Amino acid sequence: MNVPFLDLPAQQAEIADEVLPRWRQLFETAAFIGGPEVASFEDEYADYIGVGHCVGVGNGTDAIEIALRAAGIVPGDEVILPANTFIATAEAVSRVGAVPVLVDVDDEHLLIDPAAVDAAITRRTRAIVPVHLFGQTAPVEGLYPIAQRHDLVIIEDAAQSQGATSPFGRAGALGTIAATSFYPGKNLGAAGDGGAVLTDDGGLADFARSVSAHGSRTRYVHDRIGFNSRLDAIQAVELRAKLRRLDKWNDLRREAAHRYAELLADISGVRLPTVRAGNSDVWHLYVIRVEQRDRVLAELSADGIGAAIHYPTPVHLTAAYADLGYKTGAFPVAESAATHILSLPMFPHLAEDQQLRVADALRHAVNGDQQDRPAAVVHDRPNTMSHHSSQVPALSKVAVP
């Protein structure tokens, strides 16, 4: 039995009876741009996240750029972000003319390290971008004192965390403004590209909406230079249907993560992911760490297991960002993780027999060739995955000025 890394057709099958008739109506009326479907999704998603405003845009990268612009980031400003993120986070900073300043992450959860952020601040620093990586919220509460002390804005990259919570609220409602992606593989994914900007600040939301529509709120009246980045009605129909199922699907991901923790606990040399205290993880990815990762990945692939790597090269070691001047060794945790991390199949419809198959294949890949040599044990430690209700107290608003 082969096991896919992701099973999007299963999601589509579950929502087909709801989505297809509404798509047919859109095609009959040709109401593709804007309209009630987009407006309804924006309202519903803002309410789900717990913010006052949601602005649908064309994709997640645009969402980060628009959030940066709305927050007042201009050319020459410095923006701090973690070294282990998808390059889009840094690209958005570059696209507004600002300078990405990279920092290391903590070794336990691979999330941005507040102490590293504090050490990286200069007189040109204007913002911090915590990335809610792999499905759980970054330690934003540890960044607030730093941001307040230096008059910085916190801009969340919430692309991998739709529905994830901390004791202070959902991802996307923890900073001054946030960006998310609705790329099809996300926990809340569209039928193509899509994204959103989230904020409680009406002025920032108006700015974001204007920038995403050529700097205009009224046709042919352009108040600023913007560009074209709109969430279309086809995607809004898809997202509305999936949003109604998101909590259920996230709960299924949590159940799958719990099964993985039990199935993989006895495999020597596999370091399991853990959940940060107080967080409710939505397990966008289930990321383990192993020695000889590339060999293990190749063996899993040959055995029909759809594993992947997120991400094999930290931002500072990509050719695109060589001019930042960082060298190998600049961020040892991120660099070490990049050589060990391995994402196992994870999706809401992942069945128990599929996970048994993954566990057996992984056990063989990690230990099967070690009969004649000592086992290479990687950071063995007990699994401490915590299980929290998806309901948490309302966000205590300690907004950054």
For residues 21 and 301, give the distance between their C-alpha atoms in angstroms, rounded to a whole number.
38
Question: Catalytic positions, please?
Answer: 186
What's the helix, strand, coil split of the chain in %, to 5? Answer: 40, 15, 45
For residues 181 and 131, give the distance between their C-alpha atoms in angstroms, rounded to a whole number.
12
Segment holding 49, helix H or strand E: helix 36-49
Question: Cα 334 to the chain's mean position, in Å?
Answer: 16
For residues 266 and 362, give the distance between their C-alpha atoms in angstroms, rounded to a whole number.
11
How far are the Cα atoms of 36, 45, 158, 187 from residue 236, in angstroms, in the given order? 9, 11, 18, 15
Asked if 200 contacts 53 with a C-beta cutoff of 8 angstroms, the reply is yes
For residues 27 and 337, give the distance between their C-alpha atoms in angstroms, rounded to a whole number.
47
For residues 253 and 344, give the distance between their C-alpha atoms in angstroms, rounded to a whole number.
12
The residues facing 57 across adjacent strands are 195
